[in-house]
Structures are given as structure tokens and as C-alpha cells.
Structure 1
């Protein structure tokens, strides 16, 4: 495990050995614990946890957890890329390629239903409904998700903005972040630094920070109050977008339910306007 694979456990005293050995054997669990939790689990003093971390060259338990998160995240990325590359190198028919892609999308949606918290979706919707302004940040190819979410919400909530461009547009909106706003940042796998900085800026300015991502180890989760997780499907480059679009639809339907009967009246008025303007070809 990168830094950790060079640790010589045999040189550690018995108590420190047991602490570090447990950490190496259970990295995913340890990441979610604090010093007191781990100490209670191992039946040692919290000071022993800190000293064990220092004995392998780290500043303390917080430093160790940061290293663990980086290592786990890097392993996931390498595994994902290796799986995709190896699959592309295998010869197959076009029919099989199409069927596999569609099947994985279905797997992605099924996994997202199991992974996402319905409570967090409801809390997110309540925050958006009551916000002064809602800023949806999706940079690069993820901008399609931000634009889609804005488009399906704006007939009910015109104070929703999609932020999809770097530099000027992003900085302009960041200057308006404030208390009572919602900043919803979307990022997967290798999340853009600008997205992370924007979410942090929103939190620092008193906005409700929300992350739509595919891993609890995402740097976005460091600053978010609510996390909406999609199922990570590493076999397909754009797989997180499938779950993300589905989460957008869930947010839309939840907001409609939470704002009835106003939302129903707005939908009827929208339909009437569409008919009056003869928008669609008949």
C-alpha cells in the first residue's frame, strides 16, 4: 500500500505492532474511525494510537488517515483503469460490446438505488427549495449533468443555476455564494480541483454544501453537509453519469412532491404555455 508497504512491523513494540497491523488489515474501516473509536476497539489508550502512528514516521492518527484515504483512492483508480484497458484489449463482437455496455448501465442504476440515501435526497431537496440561490457545479464533461438538473428544476425553481465553465463563469458565481444558498458540486473519480475549491468556498461562506459523487473518499465529502452517492462501476468510463442523471430525476420528483400543490399548478401552466407556443411538431 504505497507508504504502508515499506513498514517493517517486526521492529515495532507489541502494542504498536497490534495497532499498525490492525490498521493495515482494515484500512476501509479505520478511515471512518476517530482516535477514541479505534482505541476502544483495540482496548488501548488513545495515546498508544498516536504514538503507534508516530513510530512509523507520521505526525499522528489524522496524518495516517489522510495517507490511507490517498492510498485507497489511488488503488481504486488503478484498478478501474486496468479493468477498462484489459477489456478494450479483448476482441469481441459489436453486438456483445453493445449488450455489455447496456447491461452495465442497468447494473449501475441498481447499485445506485442500493447505495444512495433516500433521507439525504429528501434533505437535499428541502435545502434547495428553501435556498436563496442554488448553484450546481459540474465542470468539463460533468457539465451535462449540471445543465440537465437545472433544466428539469427551473420550471419549479427559477433560482437554480448550472455552473459549467472554468475560470470566469465559475469565479463570477463563487463571488455570490453566501448564507442561505446551496452549492451542489458534482465530481467523480479524479475530481477537478476547481470543483473542490468552489464547494469549500461555498461552505466557508455559509452555504449548504452538497456533493454528488461516487465514493465516500471523494475530496468533495470533506466539505459537504449532505452526500449523494452513485454506484461506482469501473468497467465503463462514463458509468457514473448514468447514476448521476438518475439522481437528478429523483431530486426532481422529490421536489415536485414536497412542493405540491404549487408544483402541480406550475406543471399545468408550463404545459399550457408549450401548447400555446406550438413548441412541438404535430
Structure 2
């Protein structure tokens, strides 16, 4: 596994034998790595004043198999360095403001594609088995990741009666929720850049108590990985101050589906009981009520 400063070390080691154009690239990356990470090879070349082919040769000279691998090394270098203000500034430079919708949706689609290509089916299946065999299932996600944890917790509660959803940002409350965790339990820790120290401390504590740890995060360099027995890697986007968690949510959706298939009888029993409760207490609109509502709207509007 490469350390986060390996890219800078490679640039320094190779610098004396780089061409004039490649040295311009090296200097720009060292001085502006937080912006270079989001540039295409063509865009980087244009800013520095060299050709796209020079950018590709520069990546190869550093030992990377193409520019995308160099860009990935840059991502690992800066992913936890950018403040929210810097993210806004970088995003403003990166996005074509006349095609924001297309850019964002295409970017999210690419992250799901990369996640599918990089995530091992074996790792996914082992995580499912770990969850199914646990005495208690703890789900942990804070800040923006609390939405992911809540989604997972909602559906797991329909399947299991041993789910503990933890969404507090208070360290003291976190440990109050976790102090009973033990070797027969599993904790699913969800964290993406900028990584929450609260989540990291909670996962570290759970590991010290002998619990199995499943990490849902963005990279093998995530601080959760050293404590994880099972790692599920999903791509996220650190560019904008709004975190892109589409790929992580898709991964969690797959995890829920896999669990429900394995626990089909329990899911059916739960849903049958819940449907009676939902009907009795009018939790959801039924077809008849929806039809009446539509008809009333049409009458009032004169249609």
C-alpha cells in the first residue's frame, strides 16, 4: 500500500531527469495539487502550457500506468486536506455551469461503475455472512453519513430484532451506546472524507472489545481500514462541499437486498405484520384515497 506522500516523493526523485514540459507539470502539481486532482489530462496540459501527450508521458515517467492512475494517487493525497471552502472553489472551477445537471449525474454514474469494477464479490459475500452470524448488529454513521446509516438501519430493522443504530456526534454518548459490544457482535462503520474522528474512535473501541468490524468507506487508505475485518469500498466525490454518496448508497442497497434474500421468510413475516399495522393506523395512502384526492383536484380545477 502506498503512503499518501509517495506521489510527492516520486516527483522529487524523478525531477532531475524530467523534460522541461514535465518539470512544469511537476511544479504545478506540487504547488496546486488540491486543484490538479480534479483536472483532466487535457485541461492540466492547457493550464501548464504543454500537450495532453506530455501529461500522459509524465504520468508514465513517474511509474503510473496512464494518467488516471496518477490522478488516483493525487486523490489519495488530498482527499482529507480540503476544507469546505476549498471544495466550493475547486468545484466552481471544475464544473461547466451550463451543464451542471449532466455533469453531476454522469459523475455519480461513473462512481457506481468504478465501485462495481473494484469491489470484490467475495468481500461482499463475506460481509453478508458476518452480519447474518452476529448476535447484535451495530450501525454507525455520523454527519453526512448518518443518512446512509439511517437508511441501512431502517431496512435492517425489518429483518432483524438485534439492530442498534448509532447516529450521535457526542463521543460520550457514542461509548454509552457501545459499552456492551463484544466478540459475538458486528459493527458496520460508515465514513467518507472528511473522515469523522468520532466514527474512527468508536470503531477502534469496538475492535478492542473483540467485535467484528465492517467498514463501508472510499479507499484502502481510509483510517477505518486498519480496524476492519471486512472492507466494502465505494467511490465518493470529495470535490464539492456537498458529498456525493450515490455509490455508497447503491452498495448499501445491494447489502440490504442480499440480506433480505437470505432472510426471505423473516422478511415476509415482518412485512405481513407491518402491513396490518400500516393499514390499521393509516400510515400510507391507499389506492382509494389517492383516487379520491385526484378526482377532487380535477373537480376543483375544472378539468
What is the TM-score with the length of structure 1 in the denominator? Answer: 0.69
Offset, 1:2: 5.0
List aligned pairs for 1:116-135, cutoff 5 A: 116-135=119-138
Which residue pairs with 1:99 in the alignment?
A: 102
Which residue pairs with 2:141 in the alignment?
A: 138
**Residue 9 and residue 234 in structure 1: after superposition, are their counterparts in 2 closer, same or farther (change >3 A)?**
closer
Equivalent-residue separation in structure 2 for 1:245 and 1:8 (angstroms): 40
**Residue 88 and residue 168 in structure 1: after superposition, are their counterparts in 2 closer, same or farther (change >3 A)?**
same
Equivalent-residue separation in structure 1 for 2:149 and 2:79 (angstroms): 25
Asked if structure 2 preserves the Cα contact closer than 8 Å seen for 1:214 and 1:230, the reply is: yes
Q: Show CA shifts across 1:52-99 (max 9, x none).
A: xxxxxxxxxxxxxxxxxx997334456998786344146623xx1122
Offset, 1:136: 1.2
Determine if the alignment matches structure 1 residue 219 to structure 2 residue 223: yes
Structure 2 residue matching 1:154: 3-state secondary structure: helix
Q: Give the greater-gyration-radius structure (CA).
A: 2
Asked if structure 2 preserves the Cα contact closer than 8 Å seen for 1:132 and 1:181, the reply is: yes
Structure 1 residue matching 2:161: 3-state secondary structure: coil
**Residue 91 and residue 129 in structure 1: after superposition, are their counterparts in 2 closer, same or farther (change >3 A)?**
closer
Equivalent-residue separation in structure 2 for 1:141 and 1:224 (angstroms): 21
**Residue 139 and residue 76 in structure 1: after superposition, are their counterparts in 2 closer, same or farther (change >3 A)?**
closer
Which residue pairs with 1:155 in the alignment?
A: 158
Report the number of matched residues: 226
Equivalent-residue separation in structure 2 for 1:4 and 1:177 (angstroms): 43
Equivalent-residue separation in structure 2 for 1:257 and 1:241 (angstroms): 24
Determine if the alignment matches structure 1 residue 259 to structure 2 residue 291: no
Name stretches of at least 5 consecutive residues in structure 2 with no aligned partner.
1-6, 17-60, 66-72, 290-303
Determine if the alignment matches structure 1 residue 205 to structure 2 residue 203: no
Asked if structure 2 preserves the Cα contact closer than 8 Å seen for 1:109 and 1:242, the reply is: yes
- Cα RMSD (Å): 3.2
Offset, 1:187: 1.0
What is the TM-score with the length of structure 2 in the denominator? Answer: 0.65
Asked if structure 2 preserves the Cα contact closer than 8 Å seen for 1:256 and 1:264, the reply is: no
Which residue pairs with 1:275 in the alignment?
A: 279
Determine if the alignment matches structure 1 residue 74 to structure 2 residue 77: yes
Which residue pairs with 1:113 in the alignment?
A: 116
Which residue pairs with 1:230 in the alignment?
A: 234
Equivalent-residue separation in structure 1 for 2:120 and 2:278 (angstroms): 35
List aligned pairs for 1:37-76, cutoff 5 A: 73-76=76-79
Asked if structure 1 preserves the Cα contact closer than 8 Å seen for 2:236 and 2:245, the reply is: no
Q: Show CA shifts across 1:102-122 (max 9, x none).
A: 222222222222222222222
Equivalent-residue separation in structure 2 for 1:27 and 1:186 (angstroms): 30
Which residue pairs with 1:36 in the alignment?
A: none
Which residue pairs with 1:40 in the alignment?
A: none
